Amino acid sequence: MVASAPDNSTAPQLDVLLFRLAGEVYALPSACVREVIRYRDYTPVPGAPATLPGILNQRGVVVPVVDIYPLLGLSAPPASRATRLVMLSHQEIDMALLVEAVLDLAALPPAALEPPPPALDPARARFLRGLATFEQQPVALLDLDELIAGLRAWE
């Protein structure tokens, strides 16, 4: 039997939410996005790591706030009017992802997705499913499974 390359022409497009972290454009599959809310102060939790600094109440449910800037080696800008919390649900885990700004919804053709360049820091590349270009901008598609694993391992 001869293995054939996947036919990307018939593969469904990947719907993603585009957002900005430290000036760079990132994406997550929109299927795991529940809603986007304006930034509001959260309740800090004593002894929590920098990546999980606190909790907030969203519609009666207490969810952890997730800050992936340290995970990606990025410097977090101060909260501004554009700062948003992206409410995510994945693997039965609910979380509020802190982002610099939410940009748009987009559909990425699978063929547009390329592996992260080898020169990229492996500590950062592990959190990326791939890179794409959308409207002349580089977009990094995040791997939510790896992000959650990274949050669990962060010291």
Partner 1 sequence: MNADMLLIVRTARHRYAVRHADLAGMKMLADPRVLDHSGFYGQPCLAAELGPLLGHADTGALQRRQALMVPLRRRYVALLVDAIETFIEHASAVPLPALLRERLRQPWATGALVLEAQPVVLIDVRAVARSVMLAAPASPDRKGNTAYVSGA
Q: Can you give the binding site for partner 1, defined by CB under 8 A?
A: 43-49, 51-52, 55-57, 60, 62-64, 93-95, 148, 151-152, 154
Q: Are 86 and 95 in contact (CB under 8 A)?
A: no
Q: How far is the CB of 86 from partner 1 (least distance, A)?
A: 15
Identify which of residues 70 and 110 has a Cβ nearer to partner 1 in the complex: 70
Closest to partner 1 by CB, 51 or 106: 51
Shortest separation between residue 21's beta carbon and partner 1, angstroms: 19
Give 42 or 134: the residue with its C-beta nearer to partner 1.
42
Given the complex with partner 1, which of 105 and 154 has the nearer CB atom?
Answer: 154
Shortest spacing between CB 93 and partner 1, in angstroms: 6
β-pair type (93-99, 61-66): parallel
Of 14, 17, 29, whose CA–CA distance to 109 is shortest? 14
CB of 121 to partner 1, least distance (A): 23
Report the C-alpha gap between 63 and 53 in whole angstroms.
11
Helix (H) or strand (E) holding 72: helix 69-72
Name the nearest CA neighbour of 84 among 124, 126, 26.
26
